[in-house]
Structure 1
Amino acid sequence: MHCLHESRTIYNEMLETVKQQYEDTGTFPGKYDLTSHFKGRGGEHVPATTVQTLADRLSKSLKRFLACQALTTRVGFPRFKGANRWHSLQLRQYGKDCYLHEDKKHLIVPKKLGHFLKIKLHRRIEGKPKTVHLVLRADGHWYALIVCETEPQTEHSPSTCTHADIGIDVGLKSFLTDSEGKTVDNPRFYRTSQRTLRRKQRQLCRRKKGSHRRRKAAKNVAKTHLKINRQRRDHHFKTAKPYAEGYQRIVVEDLQITNMVKNHHLAKSIMDASWGAFLDILTAKAENAGHGVIRVNPRFTSQKCHQCGEIV
């Protein structure tokens, strides 16, 4: 926790340096300039490689901001991080500063972080590990995310699926309907949890700012949101798997979800369904199985039958 707090402080100091230089010279410092300027700033709690990743993180935020400004996209300038907006650390140089112990139960980290971290490895590491992200979730548990570099898969095992093509149409009344007539119910995880969220958020508003009880109430609200997110993600994976493995080619609409949520009558339901995340998971699963997902223009995909007048 000391490292998390100190890294946030260093990031805010870097951002202050960036703003000051821009006011003085009209330019932004690069990540190497920030790294050089804050060399040794980590002290007793923050590893030197983590300070480097902080500079890289801020530099990427600035580049993203400038790129979006050129495209006239509304993206705000990087802002200072409070304690409730800073939940992760990044460790570079896997194999030197951090690596998995032979017993597969401990993660070796720099001495400033304790040298040994007890972990539960829930899946086999594939590819070449590059970095480690230590993330603090709303449930109070730390998670070690080992980022690996893998070679692009060029050869796939022969497909065993018995179906060639299928079309999938996502919606709100039903989560999806395929071209074979099958439907998947929309679970509406956020909608069903709104009563619980409403009660917990009212409790949060009644607590005095800065008090221990307010922090506890805020944690309860965050836990509820985390549960909803996990329920939704689990549903997406379980729904996508049979389609990704059972069909050689899957056709979906290339929806402009950003524009669709501008409809304030449907925005909450669209975000609750999270079509974009589902389609990304479906695409990744299909590629791993050696199959393909084709996204088509949604224009004119719904038409009126010239005989009966039904919308198909």
Structure 2
Amino acid sequence: MTNIFKLYRYERNKYLHYSINTSASIYNYCIGLYKRYYRMFGKHLNQYRLTKHIAKLKKRIRYWQQLGSQAAVQDIIQRIEKAYKLFFKQHKQGTLPPSFKKCRKYKSFTLKQTGYKFLGGNKLRIGKRVNKFVLSREIGGKVKTLTVKRNNLGELFILVVTHHQNETIPKMTGKIAGWDFGLKTFLTGSDGTNIESPLFFKQLRNKFKDAYGSLSRKNEGSNNWYKEKDHLNRVYEKITNKRHD
């Protein structure tokens, strides 16, 4: 089960942005290394050897040390390894190999067993710093992974994956329900229950078009251009969140 919580905006949270940017730097370095190794030797680079190599480099490259946990580095390498395995398996079907990513488009880093600790309530320590998040629901079960993610607006979220050993299975009632799909009413149940169509995209489409048109009329790189870009991203985030709901 994945729980998503929003981190409070604090000036000190900028170190998490630095950590995501550092993750992008390590990711791109690994991609380049994979490509060079295959070009020189015609073989796939061993994941274990790459992990050891990056660990040594991380001690020498000061910028990389902003990503405190070695577990986050291991996750980056595992992501790349998984993507390459998928490419080798399905390249005939058009699957492309993993490629370089721009720093601003790299969105997250993941910690598995180490590098974080929940301190109770809405407090969480990542590395050596304590952060507060919006505790919209209780975190139940054993925490397996924690991902720090930023959206297009620069807002930070934590994605907490938990495992429940003894999940309660809902009891069967023995009743049967029929549902009818319609254009105006999304679902009509045999018991008379009506579920309206989710028209959020239609409602927000005009706002999205207006924001996109306004952005295209601004000089790229100007203050007004960045303001309109943020506005467009806010509308996009609303559409995305409503789809998830």
The bucket for the TM-score relative to the shorter chain is 0.7 to 0.9
Q: Counterparts of 1:182 and 1:228 in 2: how far apart (Å)?
A: 26
Structure 2 residue corresponding to 1:128, chosen from 117, 128, 142: 142
Equivalent residue letter for 2:83: S
1:180-205 Cα offsets, whole Å, 9 max, x none, are: 56543323222221211111112222
* Alpha-carbon spacing, 1:222–1:31, altered in 2? closer, same or farther (3 Å): farther
Kindly report which structure 2 residues correspond to 1:238-257, keeping only aligned pairs within 5 A, or say none. none
Counterpart of 1:107 in structure 2: which amino acid? Answer: L
SS state of the match for residue 109, structure 2?
A: strand
State which of 40, 57, 81 in structure 2 corresponds to 1:24.
Answer: 40
Equivalences for 1:80-91 in 2 at 5 Å?
A: 80-91=100-111
- Distance in 2 (alpha carbons) for counterparts of 1:158 and 1:180: 20
Q: Distance in 1 between matches of 2:180 and 2:104?
A: 38
> Structure 2: which 5+ runs fail to align?
1-16, 59-63
Please list, as runs of the form range in 1=range in 2, the aligned pairs for 1:1-312 lying within 5 A after superposition: 1-42=17-58, 43-47=64-68, 48-69=70-91, 72=93, 74-93=94-113, 96-102=114-120, 104-111=121-128, 115-151=129-165, 153=167, 156=169, 158-159=171-172, 161=173, 164-168=175-179, 170=181, 173-179=184-190, 182-234=193-245
Q: Percent identity?
A: 26
TM-score (norm 2): 0.78
Compute the TM-score of the two structures, normalised by the length of structure 1: 0.63
| 1:243-264, Cα deviation, whole Å (9 max, x unpaired) | xxxxxxxxxxxxxxxxxxxxxx
Q: Residue 90 of structure 1 contacts residue 132 of structure 1 at CA under 8 Å; is this kept in 2? A: yes
Q: Please report how far the alpha carbon of residue 227 of structure 1 lies from its aligned counterpart in structure 2 after TM superposition.
A: 0.5
2:77 & 2:109 partners in 1: Cα distance? 13
**CA distance change for structure 1 residues 30 and 204 in 2, over 3 Å: closer, same or farther?**
farther
For the 8 Å contact 1:32–1:55, the answer to whether it is kept is no
The DSSP-based 3-state class of the residue aligned with 2:65 is coil
Alpha-carbon spacing, 1:36–1:206, altered in 2? closer, same or farther (3 Å): farther
- AA of the residue aligned to 2:38: Y
3-state SS, counterpart of residue 147 of structure 1: strand
Distance 1:84 1:173 in 2: 41
Ranked by relative contact order (alpha carbons within 8 Å, sequence separation 6 or more), the top structure is: 2
- Name whichever of 20-29 and 177-186 sits farther off: 177-186
1:130: how far off? 1.7
Q: Name the residue aligned to 1:239.
A: none
Give, as a single letter, the amino acid of the residue that structure 2 aligns with 1:132.
Answer: L
Aligned residue pairs, count = 223
Tell me the amino acid that sits aligned with residue 71 of structure 2.
T
Measured in 2, the distance between the counterparts of 1:157 and 1:193 equals 36
